[in-house]
Amino acid sequence: MIQVPVERKVLSENERVAAELRTALEVTGTLALNFIGSPGAGKTAFLERTLQLLRAGTRAAVLTGDIQTENDAIRLGRYGYPVRQITTAGACHLDARMVEKYMWEWRFEEFELLFIENVGNLVCPTSYDLGEDGKVVVLSVAEGEDKPLKYPGIFRKAELMILNKVDLLPYVPFKAELACEYARRINPAIEIIRTSAITGAGFDQWMSWLDLRAEKKRAGNNRAAAASHAGAFQQI
């Protein structure tokens, strides 16, 4: 009997496809965000409000994942942006191959923003890289404030936490400060924005965050392009 080392990711095939997607998104400067949250956290309503508030002419698209039904795509499709529903038929998460399959007839360069709404689940989607620029975790005040401690994986990997449904705070025993403290305990760098998709509270801050993040992506893209040109120039 011999033991041979195998240094590779278990999800190496997913990682390969995700890397290809990321490269394609880098080339086009498209900002892709992967929204992850429990069922009922308000991900779809949040994205609906976001699409409503985008500046006219913004080139955005949405992929929305669910186990069954086209309901979310119908909801999100009302705002004039391309939307595709990914029905996973039982799978509890999206993976990079699904995103690749559903993106194939879109051209990345047509979009500056790509929103990916994952299947409602705080655990499984955490393991799967979709080639996105960042993960956004959506937590609602109708849940327990200790979710960041119970499901640390996603709070550790997310760069932004949306604390959603804050319009319900007067009616529920949710301790918002404690939820934020727990999230920062897991991930000190996580940014937090409190929103309500019903009242629009917090969306000014979210849309500014989105603008800044998209600008950062474009700037990074331009720097990479400049470095590439400089490299080409040096080679000459």
Residue 1 is a binding residue for another protein (CB under 8 A): yes
**Distance separating alpha carbons of residues 190 and 161, to the nearest angstrom:** 7
Nearest distance, CB of residue 122 and another protein, angstroms: 9
Binder to another protein among 6, 56, 89, 232 (CB under 8 A)? 6
Binders in 94-133 for another protein, by CB under 8 A = 95, 123-124, 126-128
Residue 218 is a binding residue for another protein (CB under 8 A): no
- Write the binding mask 18 to 57 for another protein: x where contact by CB under 8 A, - elsewhere: ----------------------------------------
| Tokens (6 digits) for 86 | 């990914």
Nearest distance, CB of residue 53 and another protein, angstroms: 31
Of the two residues 1 and 236, which places its CB atom closer to another protein in the complex?
Answer: 1
Q: How far is CA 32 from the centre of its chain?
A: 7
Nearest distance, CB of residue 97 and another protein, angstroms: 11
Residue 60 is a binding residue for another protein (CB under 8 A): no
Q: With H, G, I as helix, E, B as strand and everything else as coil, classify residue 82.
A: coil
User: Are the C-beta atoms of residues 71 and 171 closer than 8 Å to each other?
Assistant: no
Residue 234 is a binding residue for another protein (CB under 8 A): no
The size of the interface with another protein (CB under 8 A), counted in residues, is 28
Q: What string of DSSP letters covers 132-163?
A: -SEEEEEEETTS-TTHHHHSHHHHHH-SEEEE
Of the two residues 68 and 235, which places its CB atom closer to another protein in the complex?
Answer: 68
Q: With H, G, I as helix, E, B as strand and everything else as coil, classify residue 61.
A: strand
Angle (CA) 61-190-150 rounded to 5° is: 100
Residue 185 is a binding residue for another protein (CB under 8 A): no
**Distance separating alpha carbons of residues 112 and 141, to the nearest angstrom:** 31
Max CA separation in the chain (angstroms):
67
Stretch that binds another protein, among 12-20, 45-53, 176-184, 228-236 (CB under 8 A): 12-20
User: Quick one: angle between helices 96-103 and 12-28, nearest 10?
Assistant: 40
Residue 92 is a binding residue for another protein (CB under 8 A): yes
Residues that bind another protein (CB under 8 A): 1-14, 91-93, 95, 123-124, 126-128, 152-154, 156-157
